[in-house]
Structure formats: structure tokens, C-alpha cells
Amino acid sequence: MRSYLACIAGLLAALPLLAVAAPTLPDRTAIDAEVARLMAASQAQGLALAVIHEGRVVHVAAYGKRNAAGEPLQTDTVMYGASLTKAVFGQVVMQLVEAGRLDLDKPLVSYLDKPLPDYPRDSKYGPWHHLAKEPRWRQLTARMLLTHSGGFANFAFLEPDGRLRMHFDPGTRYAYSGEGLILLQFVLEKGLGLDIGDEAQRRVFTPLGMTRTSLMWRADFRPNLADGWTEEGKTEPHDERSRVRVAGSMDTTIADMARFAAGYISGMGLSPAGAAELTKAHLPITTASQFPTLQPELPPAQRRADLAAGLGVVTFTGPQGPAFFKGGHNDSTGNTWVCVKAGQRCVVILANDVRAERAFPRLVEFILGETGTPWRWEYGAKDFVK
């Protein structure tokens, strides 16, 4: 009998998990009340929220303050997008792929007119000359850099000696790297002659009506701009980023990010195959948390088997089926974007107070139900509010 039961248990374990039905979305009054409760619990001063259902924007709201003067945060207030920029860049790159301008798996060296380390130092990009004695850069592809498997630290300036180096063979593991995305931007701009800010405007922002979003600071943002609050409760002025940096220079609003999320989950601007490529599991993620970037990989038995790198996003499979997310963070900003493919449902949160991140897991669950989002991988040991 024991062996029979063990056999049955083994067969059940081998069956694919059935996704649970998505819960009914809470109404606006309920969402407003839960946001107010969670902002008080986390001490967050400002937070903006959007909800997408069946690929359409169904709720956009802003709560709290945009600056120390107490002026209200509004749905058209310009906020820092941080690393949500990477997801926009992924969308631009995939459109370039479908236009025949780029091959995800072609070595990037083939797009350059001279070896990468021979390019003079340009403050807009990375210190590529540091790779003069590192031959592995020739193996790099767009797919590797979009999946954070180029071998770099997050940025060269974070290395003990400030020098760019490759820590592992390209494509062999995940290690979050803004430097890798900047390298891909360099190749597209220097090798293909593109202006990525213009490409994002033409391919994404204008088609979606994102009139208050840019990869570079615009003076017309100033009248309705969000400053930020740090973990210590101190205010920090908005950083006017004067150059396009695809790792995280985007300014945007919650109304505009709602449009982007709806377009993205609906496959805008891409063929069905191209849209699927963005959120496909390209490379397993094998670390306990996202940061520190170059931490040791977990033993196979301790890894979350469904967690993987997409192209500019992170993919996972939760109780409601396949899903993806992307975060964005600095000392006074906390952003997140979580989408469940079934029902084309998303929650986008932009917070001009980094303390709001403690409320993200509960707020996303309140709206979408349990999604299985890997919050501990994203935020490590942060103390979340319930």
C-alpha cells in the first residue's frame, strides 16, 4: 500500500500545476482605502497606481504629495521611472529586431567598425577600453545583454578599482548589469547610427500617447514634477538627467506608464512571436536575490525553477500562470510593474518615496490576488507591511 501511495504521489507531482482563476478586481473605493492604509503603515508620502485588465487601463490614481511643500501628486505628475526604463528599451530593441536592423544572437562585434576597446572613452557610455585584454567581449550578443548575462557587474564604478571587467563567460548565468544595457545602447548608436531617445519616442511614446515621458529631461516637466523621499524621510530633488541612459534615465507619469503597460501586455508594435519573445524565459535566474549582483549561485535544489530572465523583464510562473515583472529603485524612488498573462492583467506602481516598497507585495496581492511575484528575490530582507 505504501509503495502504491508513493507511486500516486509521484504521478501527481509530475502533473503540471493548474492555474487558479483570477479573482475579481476590487473597485476604486476599495483600492483607494487599501492604498491609504498601506501608505500610512509604510510612512510613504507619495504613490501612484495603475491597473490593467484584459489589456485595457481600468484604473489610474495618484495619492499623497509630490514635494515637501505638500503639493498633491497627480496622475500627470512627472516621476522618475528608474529601471522601468529597461523594459521600454527591451520593447524598442525587439521592434528593431522585427524591422531587420538587429539580430538578437549575432555577435555585437559585427555591428562595430572597430574593436570595442579601441573606442575612445565617452562619458555617455562605459569604459570599454578596460576590456583591451579581455577577449570574451567578442562573444556578446543583444540577447545576452538584455538578459543580464554579459558577465559585468551592475556598473564599472561599483568595482573596487572602478575598472570594467567580465566575471564569467557571457550567456552562462544571470547577474544584473546596467552596464550591459549601456553597452547595447552604444552598439545601436555607434554601430547602427541610431538615436535611442528618438527611437523610443517614435516607436513607443508617440504611438501610445505617452506625451509626458522621455528618456531625457525636458524643461516642460518642471511645473508638475515629483521630488522624492528617502528611507530616512528626507526629501531629494528630482534629478534632471541630461542624457539618454537605457539603464534608467526615463521620466514618466503614472498615466503614461498605464498606457505602456496596456500596450506591452497586448503586444503593441510587434508580431505575436515578437511580443512573446519579450516575456519568454530565456535564462534561469540562479541567485537568492537580485542584489548583490555577483553573488554566488544557489545549489540547483534551492533555486526557484520558474524564475528566469526575459528581455528587459523578469519572468515567473505563479498560481495564476505565466507572469512577468520589473522593478525600479533609487534612494528616493520605488517602482514596480507586475503582469499576469492570463486576462492580460497588470499593476503598475510609481512611488516618489522609497519606503513605499514595503507595501508593494500586499498592494499587488490586494488587486491581482496571489501572483507568486518573487518579492524576496527582488527586495531581499526588506520588512514588508501587511
Burial class of residue 135, CB neighbours in 10 A (0-12, 13-18, 19+): exposed
Spatial distance between the Cα atoms of 62 and 75, rounded to a whole number of angstroms:
5
Spatial distance between the Cα atoms of 323 and 342, rounded to a whole number of angstroms:
8
Strands 321-330 and 56-64: unpaired
Question: What DSSP state is assigned to residue 345?
Answer: E
Average pLDDT (360-371) is 98
Spatial distance between the Cα atoms of 39 and 284, rounded to a whole number of angstroms:
34
Q: Residue type at 318? A: G
Q: What's the mean pLDDT when you consider all of the chain?
A: 95
Residue 204: partners with Cβ closer than 8 Å, 6 or more residues away = 88, 91, 92, 210, 260, 263, 269
Average pLDDT (359-372) is 98
Contact between residue 290 and residue 234 where contact means Cβ atoms under 8 Å apart: no
Of the pLDDT bands very low, low, confident and very high (cuts 50, 70, 90), residue 91 is: very high
Of the pLDDT bands very low, low, confident and very high (cuts 50, 70, 90), residue 183 is: very high
pLDDT for the residue numbered 21: 79
* Each residue's pLDDT tens digit, 285-343: 999 999 999 999 999 999 999 999 999 999 999 999 999 999 999 999 999 999 999 99
What kind of architecture, by CATH, is found in domain 22-85+252-386? 3-Layer(aba) Sandwich (3.40)
C-alpha cell at 138: 567578442
The share of the chain scoring above pLDDT 70, in percent, equals 95
pLDDT for the residue numbered 7: 40
Number of other CB atoms surrounding residue 19 within 10 Å: 16
Spatial distance between the Cα atoms of 203 and 90, rounded to a whole number of angstroms:
12
Q: Which residue spans within the chain are E strands per DSSP?
A: 46-53, 56-64, 79-80, 228-229, 235-236, 251-252, 283-284, 308-309, 314-318, 321-330, 333-340, 345-351
Tell me if residue 371 falls in helix, strand or coil.
Answer: coil
Residue 16 pLDDT > 90? no
pLDDT for the residue numbered 17: 47
C-alpha cell at 13: 507531482
Average pLDDT (246-253) is 98
Spatial distance between the Cα atoms of 365 and 370, rounded to a whole number of angstroms:
5
Residue 9 pLDDT > 90? no
* Each residue's pLDDT tens digit, 140-174: 999 999 999 999 999 999 999 999 999 999 999 99
Contact between residue 333 and residue 80 where contact means Cβ atoms under 8 Å apart: yes
Average pLDDT (239-263) is 98
Burial class of residue 303, CB neighbours in 10 A (0-12, 13-18, 19+): middle
* Each residue's pLDDT tens digit, 184-208: 999 999 999 999 999 999 999 999 9
Contact between residue 95 and residue 257 where contact means Cβ atoms under 8 Å apart: no
pLDDT for the residue numbered 19: 63
Q: Is the dihedral of CA 2, 6, 7, 11 positive or negative?
A: positive
Which of 219, 238, 340, 197 is CA-nearest to residue 279?
A: 340
What are the extents of the domains in the chain?
Answer: 22-85+252-386
Of the pLDDT bands very low, low, confident and very high (cuts 50, 70, 90), residue 18 is: low
Tell me if residue 236 falls in helix, strand or coil.
Answer: strand
Average pLDDT (201-216) is 98
Tell me if residue 315 falls in helix, strand or coil.
Answer: strand
- In residues, how long is the chain? 386
Q: Is the dihedral of CA 34, 36, 41, 46 positive or negative?
A: positive
